[in-house]
Structure 1
Amino acid sequence: MAESFKLPLRPIIEKRDRPDSLPRDIAQINAQWGSFRELSEAGLREKIEADKRKDQWAEEDEADTRAAELDDSDRKEQLYKRRAEIIQYALQAHMEASFALDFVSLLLSKHNPRQAETSMSPFLKTAAPLGSLNADVVNPPPRPDSALRDIKSVSRGWRLQSFNNAANKLLNAGSRLDTEVAAETGYWNEVLAVKEKGWKVCRLPREGQALGVQYGFLEATPIFRDRGLAALRRGEEGRLVLDKGLIPRKAQGVRVRVKCRDRIIGCSEVCRPAQDAETIESRILQARDTLFEEELFHEVMREARILGSQGVTTRQNLVCVPVSEEQEILLDLVDWDQDHASAGTAISSEHNALADAISHSIRILLTYAHRQNLRRRTQYPPPLAPKRRPVPEYQILRPIMAYLQHKSHIQWLETFIGDLRRVLESAGIGCDFKATDFSSIGVLPPSHVVSKVEALVGVFLAPFESTFSGTLTTPQSSFQVRIRTSPVVPPFGTFYDISAHLPQFPDVQPPSRIGLQEEVAEAVTHFVMLDIASSISLRNTQSRDASGGPGQQATGQLAWEVAYPHHGELLAVDSGGQSKKMKVNLSREELTVETYSLIRADGFPNPVAARSSTLLTQTWKPGSEPQPSLADFVTRASQASA
């Protein structure tokens, strides 16, 4: 690189051939020695020798001696005189400097009047107008040819040096400009590539000369919406740099785990960044996904705080959602490269699928909330109110809790009805049960207002319903159980609506909106027990013997009649007038039917039960050895009683 151009600021000092001119030397000799007539070589040599032998401190001692001889009054007078002389000299120098300044200012006022006016004295301003004095060179003395040749050579050298410096600067500027053009071209190509991918590129609000990319969601809460804009800076060699601001450097995601009895049995996959993390698109995607995950966990924490009455607990970075007495769902925000396996982990594919389903569901619900915000923003705004309207919590955990709770109740009811059916089948009783899971979720009707995804999510946010129906042993006897779970707070929870159709007992109806599983099990078991008692009483009712005793059939068997239906008790009277009793006990584990004789106590009109040696008992359990059916047991009990 060429040396930088240096401009001298001091004037060039011209060296004279002789130090002083001859007239000045003559004036100095006259002032020191007098006239030349009195000056001789011998006198000068004597003066030189006298100066050599003279003591240099003698004059000072003499002056000190004369000063000591003076009295105080003379010394003060002398000091005043010297002081007055110094002040006079200072004033004279000041006046001469002021005159010189006024002269120069008046001379410069011809060309720069405003600047020269600031240094002029008030007297000069009134005495002489500005620009009245000017200077010009008139008939300058001619210069010799040697001086002109030197000036020409120096001027030519300066011009050549200036040209060289200018050329070097232009070359450097050209190379620097080429580098800048290449860097700017690469920068704008990457910016255009980002825009062609569908990202919104705009100016930064606080930096008008900088560009930014909008990777966040405009319908998110303000705290996350403002963080969704990153600056597109130009790095080294025109490389595009994404200034993500408050976004963490590592990719983060919400992890969903399934916990059962203090052990992790399922874990969802945390979203991982792209393999090519060096591209600008992958960095933008990572920033968007991380911001979305942070907003998701923030909204989950907000909703979890209002679900404390439902058993949801929160910690610093963990949300625990109970599903059943033994199972719960854990949600936390972790880095993608964190070791997800922990102590006491027993991962299964089934529960991994459940965790992944919950993980996808919460993200879909947050996106649905963003669309609802957009829909509300595009509508007419509500009227102004003095109080600021609060921002409601998004429905993210509540639909999932409702779905899991509803599914848990469905599984419990299926298990209970299955156990009850196996008990009845072991006794030879035919029954049919039909389950319609999530009957509220049907075929979506076509709609031009909302998309299919929004319509599906809207159905998922509605109350869940499932129905269980069954036909019993007696003709036209049936029952139906409808399970309804509402995700809205309040009311939040699962309720059972049971309806039964028993022709023998038309007035028997269960209570509405049962909330406990134990009560539902008791009600269904009670209806089935009533139906079994009705089927026993209706057996062979068409073949009774009109001539026989009351309640006796033509074949000689007893005719059982339901006496206390809600206790499962049937009564019959044999030919000897002795009363017989049959009691039916039904549970999800077994069916027990026992018969025994009744005796009439003194003073009581109704017979009182008394166990005799002829007691018959039969118990049916699923998975036990083959036993006679209930019909065979009733036939044998009727014959034994006869």
Structure 2
Amino acid sequence: MSGAGSLMNITLRPWPAPKKEELGPQHLLQQVEQLANERGHLRNVTEKSLQDEITSGKDVSEGAKDESDEKKEKKEVYSKEERLQDVFRMQQEMSNHMEWAKFAANNAVDLISLALSSDPNKRSLASFSHTFRVEGLTQGLPFGSFGISKENHDQHVRKPDELQSLQEYEQRQELVSKGARMEALDVATDEILKAAKKLEREVRRETKYWQEIVSISDKGWPIQRVRQNARNIPFAVRYGLPEASNHFKARGLAPLRMDKDGSIILDPTLALKPKTLRVRVREYGKITGTSSLAIESGMNSTAIEKTIQLARDSLFEEELYHEMRLEARHLLPYGVFYRDSVIHVEASGVDSRHRSKMLLIDCIPREDDSQSKQSHSNDWLARNVAEGLRLLLAHEHSMRLHRRSQLPPPLTGQQQEHPSPSLLRTLLAVFRHLEGVDSLYDYLEKTSKTLESAGINVQLDTTRELSWANLAESLQSSSKKGVSATDQLLELFLKPFGGRATLTLTSSNVRQPEALSVSTRTVIGPPTFGREHRLILPSSVATELGLFQQSKFTSVEETTSYLDSILSLHIAHRQLKTEFFSRAVIKGSDARITIRTKDAKKEPTGEQDIMVRLQQGELEVTAISAANIQEEELDTEQSYTWTDRKGEMPLVDKVKSWVG
């Protein structure tokens, strides 16, 4: 009995499994899924259902089942179609069981996730199934709509001191909550005031910035948005010229940064010291003229618009100097060279005996006052040269825009060349042309006055530049559309210069006057590469004197020397021959004529050689007698000279006084 009594208090429990064999949450979930697949839904698994299965023998071991199955197989032989149907049926049952198990598991997971979603820190859409997210959450089902709580239904009567302590605790909690709310309201008020002050500062800052932006835009400067760093630098100003070369076009954009007070901070490219082109005239080693601009005071207090304008002018001046420096490399034969950051240009011309005048071109800061101790006699020349170069570069920009607006040329495999603008070439052409035509026309004017003082009727008509003389007509009849009159005028300077002088010689026995013309063409480039003088003689004069009708010369000295010989021959062989026709004889090809002399009775007694020499505006006539009156006497010689001032008597009268 004692042993049996002791066994009454014994509880049978499964032997604790070792830690290696303990099932974790993941393994337990696998076991539940396997049980659901084998038994169907877990709701049908009860103690009674298990006991019935044991009684009916459904819990037979696998070995016994296999033996019974083998016996059945021996007893029953199924066909192939029946076996396939059994396989399909079992597969359908397995898939149904798996779907039900998946559905149950998803429901369990969704239920647990919905219960946990009451805590905001544990909310996660990934913990819900796809079906629940689509059919539940997206349809308006809120988080935390299902909760689990543990309640204690036991009645508990508190003691009076415990109730008093709870009331005191609640009062303290209420006071603390009120204090916390008041403190929070104070903090919120302070934050709102700070935000209001900050907003006011931002409004003032933005207002000032936009006022300066509008002011810049009203002055005509193009404003554009900046994509990069748009928060701190929302806008930029395009102060460079749109048709500048690529290097200077990229430098023509400056961002407009905003300072703390809303004013615009100058970009480093705008804050640099502005530069200007300086042209100096040097004569005999001394500077006699300069074109640098006057110093502007108060650069620190200059408005932003003025600063942008100075930056634009400085960029234009730098581009002008850069283009001329590139062009100077190809003009060394014309007296142009680059040395010590200064471009040297000979301005006296190639025909001058003393090349004493030189142009010095460089780019300096605007506030440079190095010209204070220099002479200013040639300031007008330096200023005109500087302004002319600026106009030529501005004209090149305008023509680039005009060319871009035209229809493009056909596409080719060859890359189109973009030649540099003709700046120094145009300057050299102007100096060479004016120097040549002025020197030549001075000679012609002096010569015509000398001939008139000698009694020879001549008329001189000179034109320094034909295109300038016909400027109004050429502008009116121009066929270029879209090109302004200023650009058409400047375009004339880029073409070859041409001047013309006409010297008309009149004679008493010639009905139509004979005109001798000299055309001057100047171009620094092919095909002339300099200046060319073309002399055209009248056909009758060229035939009679045995000369070419057209002759070309490259210098004024050659042209004037040839004109002296032509006019000397014309006076001797045409003027004197016509006047002393019966007594005059031409014995050579030089400017000499032989005239028979007469005594008082008007009878020929001898001969006089009349030599005519015209040189540099002075006409000299010499008479040489070849008759020997006595053997001891030498040949007698008489001469007379006419200049551009009025002479005492005409040439014919003077010769008549010698030959009778």
TM over 0.5: yes
The residue aligned with 1:169 is: 191
- 1:481 pairs with one of 497, 515, 518: 518
Deviations 1:253-300 (A, max 9, x none): 111222222222222243766978532211111111111111111111
2:537 is equivalent to residue 513 of structure 1: no
Q: Separation in 2 of the partners of 1:171 and 1:400? A: 69
Whichever residue aligns with residue 634 of structure 1, its letter is V
**Aligned match of 2:476:** 445
Do the aligned partners of residues 282 and 470 (structure 1) sit closer, same or farther apart at CA in structure 2, a change above 3 Å counting? same
Q: What residue is the counterpart of 1:320 in the other structure?
A: 344
CA apart distance, 1:342 = 6.4
Q: Distance in 2 between matches of 1:218 and 1:611?
A: 91
Instruction: Give the match for residue 85 of structure 1.
Output: none
**2:538 matched to which residue of 1?**
501
Partner SS for 2:466: coil
Which amino acid in structure 2 is aligned with residue 485 of structure 1? Answer: T
Work out whether 1:346 is the aligned partner of 2:369.
Answer: no
What is the CA–CA distance in structure 2 between the aligned matches of 1:328 and 1:404, rounded to whole Å?
12
Q: Which amino acid letter does the alignment assign opposite residue 518 of structure 2? A: V
Partner of 2:304: 280
Report Cα offsets for 1:134-189 as digits up to 9, x if no partner.
Answer: 77686999753333232222222222112111111110110110111111112112
Find out whether 1:262 has 2:289 as its counterpart: no
- Is 1:377 the counterpart of 2:440 in the alignment? no
Secondary structure of 1:520's partner? helix
Indicate which of 485, 493, 517 corresponds to 1:460: 493
Aligned residue for 2:505? 472
Q: Aligned AA for 1:289?
A: D
- Residue 417 of structure 1 pairs with residue 444 of structure 2: yes
Question: 1:340: Cα distance to partner?
Answer: 4.1
What is residue 567 of structure 2 aligned with on the other side?
528
Partner of 1:291: 315
State the shift of 1:115 in Å.
8.7
Cα distance, 1:536 vs structure 2: 1.5
How has the CA–CA distance of structure 1 residues 223 and 134 changed in structure 2, closer, same or farther, with 3 Å as cutoff? farther
The answer to whether the Cα contact below 8 Å between 1:187 and 1:240 also exists between their aligned partners in 2 is yes
- 1:178-217 equivalences under 5 Å are 178-209=200-231, 210-217=234-241
Structure 1 residues 285 and 313 mapped into 2: Cα distance closer, same or farther (>3 Å)?
A: same
Given the superposition, is the C-alpha separation of residues 220 and 233 from structure 1 closer, same or farther in structure 2, using an over 3 Å criterion?
same
Q: Secondary structure at the match of 1:434?
A: strand
Q: Is the 8 A contact 1:486 1:492 kept in 2?
A: yes
CA contact (8 A) 1:426 1:621 kept: yes
Gaps of 5+ in 1: 1-105, 119-130, 542-550, 552-558, 601-609
Change (3 A) 1:491 1:136: farther
One-letter amino acid matched to 1:190 = E
Unaligned runs of 5+ in 2: 1-112, 128-143, 350-354, 598-602
Deviation at 1:450, TM superposition (A): 1.8
3-state SS of 2:586 partner: strand
Aligned to 1:314, what secondary structure does the other structure show?
strand
Instruction: Show the counterpart of 1:399.
Output: 426
Equivalent position amino acid for 2:175 in 1:
S
Q: CA offset at residue 405 of structure 1?
A: 1.1
Decide whether the 8 Å contact of 2:519 with 2:534 is kept in 1: yes
- In the TM superposition, residue 585 of structure 1 has moved relative to its aligned partner by 1.8
Q: How far off its partner does 1:247 sit? A: 4.6
Aligned counterparts, 1:501-580, within 5 A = 501=538, 503=540, 506=543, 507-509=546-548, 511-533=550-572, 534-541=574-581, 551=582, 559-564=583-588, 566-574=589-597, 578-580=606-608
Backbone CA RMSD of aligned residues: 3.6
Q: Which moved more, 1:446-455 or 1:614-623?
A: 614-623
For 1:423 and 1:411, how far apart are their aligned partners in 2?
18
Cα deviation, residue 113, structure 1 = 5.0
Length, aligned pairs only: 494
Query: Matched residues in 2 for 1:116 and 1:571: separation?
Result: 131
Deviations 1:518-545 (A, max 9, x none): 210112111211222121221154xxxx
1:430-453 superposed Cα distances (whole Å, 9 cap, x missing partner): 433221221222222255432111
Question: Partner amino acid for 1:592?
Answer: E
Distance 2:229 2:551 in 1: 65
The CA distance in 2 between the partners of 1:489 and 1:271, in whole Å, is 40
Q: What amino acid maps onto 1:317 in structure 2? A: S
Q: Percent identity?
A: 27
**Alpha-carbon spacing, 1:388–1:204, altered in 2? closer, same or farther (3 Å):** farther
